[in-house]
Amino acid sequence: MRNGRTGFEELPISTRTRRTRLTVAAVVTAVLLALCVADLPSFARPEPPSGRIELSQGWQLASARTVQADGVALSSPGTPEGGWHTVTHMPATVLQALQDDGTYPDLYFDENLTDVPDDLYRQDWWYRTTFAAPAGSTSYRLELPGVNYRAEVWLNGRMVAGNAEVVGCTPTTSSTCPASSTPAARTPSRSG
């Protein structure tokens, strides 16, 4: 039978039917909410962000001419042999680090700059430090804002980026590193 508004006759709904429909709707809503906020399986959980540490202290610098070890040895934990200079703060150029540690006196005074060898920039240099990686992550990103030319980056005995990848002002590389890590960066000379 048709009525004037909807075209169909409206049948009365019992209170019991209405209550049942509301209960079913409430249960379905509760199940959907539970599924939406349920814990993800371990393989699907995003990794928490790793803590950020600045590696501006504790660096050493040496000419590749005086250090006979390779990147594998220099980026492994332990004390390297050779004529290492303390770098007071990174980023620092080779000349700045050598001035800061007293190898060369104030380069802007008198004719002190003339005492710096002409081939200083024609040789490769190693920068090295050791750090403890923040817990809670399995991979980290190394940002090397002090590299203004090119560098090889070694971490725990393995090259993680070559001098074709680490170029320019703010190079970065990603790697997996354990709790204690030793990076080393070899900056090639600009002459070759």
For residue 162, the model assigns a pLDDT of 78
Enter the tokens of residue 4: 């004037």
| Residue 4 binned pLDDT confidence (cut-offs 50, 70, 90) | low
pLDDT at 86 over 90: yes
For residue 118, the model assigns a pLDDT of 85
Mean pLDDT of the chain: 74
Single-letter amino acid code for the residue at 86: T
pTM of the model: 0.63
Q: For residue 20, what is the enclosing H or E element?
A: helix 15-37
Q: For residue 95, what is the enclosing H or E element?
A: helix 94-100
> Whole-angstrom Cα distance, residue 178 to residue 73?
17
Q: Using one digit for the tens of pLDDT, what is the confidence trace for 53-71?
A: 778 888 999 998 888 888 8
Residue 128 per-residue DSSP state:
E
Q: Using one digit for the tens of pLDDT, what is the confidence trace for 7-20?
A: 556 556 666 676 67
pLDDT at 171 over 60: no
